[in-house]
Structure 1
Amino acid sequence: MSQRSRVIDLYKNLLHLGKDWPKGYNFFRERLHAAFLKNKDEKDAEKIEKLISHGNFVKKEIETLYVLKKYRTLKRRYYDNN
């Protein structure tokens, strides 16, 4: 898979994850777009690989936050201490 297609795939995955963002989809989309535009002229292959790996790390962190939010909601729902 080429670097270009990996970057596009990462962007699409992050955009999809942004649909459940607490501050709203538009806020997330604007910030994501700005982050990708900031590095659009990068030509160094090693630097691009670092950016892709950082993007994958951010994707995993967002997924983890969503799972934690669901866990806390379920815990509150079923184990309320009243």
Structure 2
Amino acid sequence: MAGPSTRLRVIRLYKELHRLGRDYPDENYDFHGKLRRMFEKNRNLTDPEEIDKALKLGEYIKNETLALYSLRKYRHLKRNYPSDKSSS
């Protein structure tokens, strides 16, 4: 059975992913719906290894989403500040 610290880790991960989903660039993707379904699907896990595996997948998704946002910000800055190679 999962302990209280595991429960807190799961809740914290869900909240972080939910906050990240607010800025998800594709409105048609239904980030929050997929997030909720994924957590509900794993709701009844009791094996600590399976819980840890699901938490690692969630952390991976969080890191990939953060990388997507960083790339989006970088591309926006690059468009607004074009390189000035023509004047050299």
TM-score (norm: length of structure 1): 0.89
Match of 1:19 in 2: 22
Select 2:38's aligned residue among 35, 55, 65. Answer: 35
| Bigger Rg, structure 1 or 2 | 2
Alignment partners' CA distance in 2, 1:37 and 1:80: 47
Match of 1:9 in 2: 12
Deviation digits for residues 10-47 of structure 1 (CA, Å, limit 9, x no counterpart): 000000000101233x9211110001011101100011
Unmatched tracts of structure 1, length 5 or more: none
Query: Residue 38 of structure 2: SS of its match in structure 1?
Result: helix
Say if 2:73 is the partner of 1:70. yes
Alignment partners' CA distance in 1, 2:53 and 2:15: 18
Unmatched tracts of structure 2, length 5 or more: none
Match of 1:47 in 2: 50
How many residue pairs align between the two structures?
81
**Structure in which a larger fraction of residues adopt helix:** 1
